[in-house]
């Protein structure tokens, strides 16, 4: 009798290429901060906060150091909230504020290009699900 060994499927270490959306980032930076509601500074822009944590329900993988997630995983944030988000556990940062940040990312993507609808999503913090 011959024993057969099934070789395990190799795990891909290749990162998926980051999907860039400069037009989306431009609109996101013009929106008020999702965390605190601060509008962009006069004559300036807010920042685009890239959501890094993984979530299987959203088919979102975690990104490592030196790697940004695709631009669809961005929300608007002011300078202060952006620094605070990076200084603590990111998921906890959003949970403390009662914001489902991945849901907001999905809504912003769905309404992409329509600034007024995107602004309404941010002001309602994603609304009711």
Residue 52 has what pLDDT?
83
The least confident of 32-46, 51-65, 80-94 is 51-65
Whether the per-residue pLDDT at 10 is higher than 90: the answer is: no
- Three-class DSSP category at 21: coil
Residue 100 has what pLDDT?
94
Q: What is the pLDDT of residues 54-69, one digit of tens each?
A: 777 776 666 666 667 7
Its pTM stands at: 0.79
Whether the per-residue pLDDT at 91 is higher than 70: the answer is: yes
Whether the per-residue pLDDT at 31 is higher than 50: the answer is: yes
Q: Are strands 47-50 and 74-77 parallel, antiparallel or unpaired?
A: antiparallel
Nearest to 115 by CA among 22, 19, 29, 21: 29
């Amino acid at each position: 009798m011959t024993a057969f060994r099934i070789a395990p499927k190799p795990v891909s270490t290749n990162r998926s290429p980051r999907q860039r959306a400069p037009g989306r980032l431009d609109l996101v930076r013009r929106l008020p901060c999702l965390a605190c509601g601060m509008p962009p500074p006069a004559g300036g822009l807010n920042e685009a906060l890239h959501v890094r944590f993984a979530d299987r329900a959203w088919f979102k993988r975690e990104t490592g150091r030196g790697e940004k997630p695709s631009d669809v995983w961005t929300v608007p944030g002011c300078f202060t909230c952006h620094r605070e988000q990076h200084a603590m556990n990111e998921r906890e940062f959003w949970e403390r504020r009662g914001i489902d940040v991945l849901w907001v990312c999905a809504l912003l993507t769905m309404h992409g290009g329509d600034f007024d609808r995107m602004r309404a999503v941010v002001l309602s913090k994603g609304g009711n699900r």
